[in-house]
Structure 1
């Protein structure tokens, strides 16, 4: 069957892409993405082209950009080019150049997809990339999930050439006189992926001439097995993990019956990137004191009395603040909605999530911020001064909750209100109060 029909069939049958979809083509200038773009245009899809210039290869990077711009102009397709200072980004983030380039391009592709109202981002990866990814993940210890290789469709990203081998693409590109440029860094074995492509896979092919077909079939089995596993894991996770106020609460009592099953525990926490070693530390700490913290690359887990609390790292910066002026109305801070008003009705009104404050004692602007070590106030209904840290312990407020409690500060530095917990006794309304400042937190 001619390639164009195989390509069209893969779009419809495997990827379920409608012929009226708008496609953002990620085009590097290599043979894979140039062939993919030609096929989409031949089928009459509405397309835009995106090209990343990572400024890593000097003149070669400029020539790649020039080639893509020329191709887009020839076919009358809108083309967008983004230049990245990839080296600086990698150094600032402490990651490899390859990982930096990946992060930068996918973030920009999604931004551009939304801006251009495209339905899909098409990436020109092929079957050989698929196999290489599986083998590379095998060396990284990513488990069954990593052995799935490259998924044909994930979110808004599609890989419409996964059914094609690299040698087929090279042959078609030659026969159709498709102009492209080779990235010379693809031939350097200093990169792990290239080493697998140029040295490891050829050895497998010596052992089994049909290695590519065998590997592809095994990857398919891995994908099916992983999907089957998730069909068991998801119902368990949904009965134990609960979203609450931007955090995920994990019921310790419900998790207790699974805590000794390391493999199951690993799968339950897999979406949050916790390693097996970290989860084994959690198991060892299970019967100990609360307050232990466990971290993955992007998440933090708190072992509390009755629950585990899971949150993304850097939910908010501890130095975040909001300035309140007298004529403010409504605003947002710390994932909470606030409303404020001033009135002369000095009658005490008990309402959840609100504080009534003696207006004449306020020094504007007021400030909302989060708890800091050393904070203290004079809690309403209690005698004397108390450290906020002690107040939180007495009220069984865990570490995560404590870090997310907004604190209302007067212009003189006094704490006025520990939001949704306790008003400071010095700022309560009294018989001599003439005006009331009311702040409501929802």
Structure 2
């Protein structure tokens, strides 16, 4: 396998021998085999480990095991713990997606800070097949059906030449230690359900199933290259660029052979998902002024064009409140007070937030709301999208754009001027009250 590893790195031009690679090591069999291959290769590398705090003592055991391997191999290593469930709830995403976002953001942070050239993950051929079917079930374009790439920007996947069985056999023959992840057998996760329930049925139907799927994915990769070349020609007919925005001309778009597909491919580069793209396409004939948002961009229809702009610097600005601050003048005029909870009377004014000081994590921050933001409205036990709250409150578009959030860590404390989060309300256990008043101009 070591020879195949060298050949794969060279054939796919994953990295040069003098470059430094950061390995994502969980402690599982795949990442430990990847670590073994790098150790034997002579390449310069370090490792990064994430503890997602999802499996209690087992997660801590994984971290302890990897730390032990670090000492054994004497290699640079970086460790990080995350509150994954809280992050998932706050962002309205699945646990799997939350873990993915957290780990890749962390890996990139370490790569830049410690001057690594690439991040290597231990994805293999079975992961490629599973991703193909997951993307197929979620509604995707031809790019999604090409599965996991050997190299994507700074992410490389040096084990894509091997299947899971080969990796297991190699680990056994070379006495490679690893940790079993009990969550891998829990079918509650989509990938595990596919792995343990669906794909074995295909294997029973056709023993050559995996081989054929991998060949089909290679065919799709070639087809995607042809597809992309044709799209580039059509793309140039309908898209204009300037320093501040991307402009899509509606009439030329509608005159192309496949306008909906082309629109999907254009907008995917700006993080618009297929559902939002469908809505935009259906609204091409509607009146001007309708706006749509992705995590990073805003799209506005104005007469015969669609204008795409990144969120402005002002929208991304963040303002901080330290524990001892008594007022703030930007982005709004705020008066801050602290007092004993005894005999405190809660204001019913919407421009005043009365909060439990003991629940707050300083510094607090103030930022604009974003698509995907979640909070727990006062009086509710469940979470609600901020965007849905705006709809329920019948807040007009122009007013939404000027709404700010008060946050404690990653938790929303107050939709300023509207509603506080239930987790920060004053209770019988509150000792100190933290009051913020938005002074009216």
Check conservation: 1:260, 1:283, Cα contact below 8 A. Answer: no
Displacement of 1:319 after TM fit?
9.6
**What 5-or-longer segments of structure 1 have no aligned partner?**
323-369, 371-398, 405-442
| Other-structure match for 1:286 | 284
Check conservation: 2:125, 2:163, Cα contact below 8 A. Answer: yes
Distance 1:253 1:143, change over 3 A: closer
- Whole-Å Cα distance in 1 between the matches of residues 159 and 24 of structure 2? 13
Are 2:145 and 1:156 aligned?
no
Q: Give 2:301's match in structure 1, choosing from 293, 300, 303.
A: 303
Q: Give 1:19's match in structure 2, choosing from 10, 14, 17.
A: 17
Check conservation: 2:14, 2:158, Cα contact below 8 A. Answer: no
Check conservation: 2:132, 2:146, Cα contact below 8 A. Answer: yes
Distance 1:235 1:102, change over 3 A: same
**What 5-or-longer segments of structure 2 have no aligned partner?**
320-367, 369-396, 403-441
- SS of equivalent to 1:272: coil
Check conservation: 2:19, 2:117, Cα contact below 8 A. Answer: yes
Are 2:70 and 1:72 aligned?
yes
- Whole-Å Cα distance in 1 between the matches of residues 318 and 123 of structure 2? 45
Stretch of structure 1 that moved more, 251-260 or 162-171: 251-260
CA displacement 1:128-150 (0-9 Å, x = unmatched): 11100101111101122211111
- SS of equivalent to 2:269: helix
CA displacement 1:79-101 (0-9 Å, x = unmatched): 11011111211111111111111
Displacement of 1:227 after TM fit?
1.9
Q: Give 1:89's match in structure 2, choosing from 87, 90, 94.
A: 87
Displacement of 1:279 after TM fit?
4.3
| Other-structure match for 2:44 | 46
Q: Give 1:212's match in structure 2, choosing from 210, 213, 216.
A: 210
Distance 1:253 1:56, change over 3 A: same
Check conservation: 1:25, 1:48, Cα contact below 8 A. Answer: yes
Are 2:66 and 1:57 aligned?
no
Are 2:9 and 1:6 aligned?
no
CA displacement 1:362-385 (0-9 Å, x = unmatched): xxxxxxxx9xxxxxxxxxxxxxxx
Displacement of 1:211 after TM fit?
0.8
- Whole-Å Cα distance in 2 between the matches of residues 252 and 52 of structure 1? 45
TM normalised by structure 2 equals 0.68
- Whole-Å Cα distance in 2 between the matches of residues 319 and 152 of structure 1? 33
- SS of equivalent to 2:214: helix
| Other-structure match for 1:223 | 221
Displacement of 1:295 after TM fit?
3.9
Distance 1:248 1:103, change over 3 A: same
Displacement of 1:302 after TM fit?
1.1
Runs ≥4 residues deviating over 6 A: none
TM normalised by structure 1 equals 0.68
| Other-structure match for 2:163 | 165
RMSD: 2.8
Q: Give 1:270's match in structure 2, choosing from 255, 264, 268.
A: 268
CA displacement 1:226-285 (0-9 Å, x = unmatched): 121111112332443233343212234543423873233333333234455544544444
CA displacement 1:140-170 (0-9 Å, x = unmatched): 0112221111111101001111111111111
- SS of equivalent to 1:269: helix
| Other-structure match for 1:232 | 230
| Other-structure match for 1:144 | 142
Query: What are the within-5 Å matches in structure 2 for residues 379-398 of structure 1?
Result: none
Q: Which has the higher contact order (CA 8 A, sep 6+)?
A: 2
- Whole-Å Cα distance in 2 between the matches of residues 6 and 319 of structure 1? 46
Stretch of structure 1 that moved more, 195-204 or 283-292: 283-292
Check conservation: 1:259, 1:265, Cα contact below 8 A. Answer: no
Displacement of 1:304 after TM fit?
0.8
The structure with the larger Rg is: 1
| Other-structure match for 1:315 | 312
Displacement of 1:292 after TM fit?
2.2
Check conservation: 2:245, 2:307, Cα contact below 8 A. Answer: yes
Displacement of 1:193 after TM fit?
0.5
| Other-structure match for 2:177 | 179
Distance 1:254 1:225, change over 3 A: same
Q: What number of residue pairs does the alignment pair up?
A: 326
- Whole-Å Cα distance in 1 between the matches of residues 225 and 101 of structure 2? 26
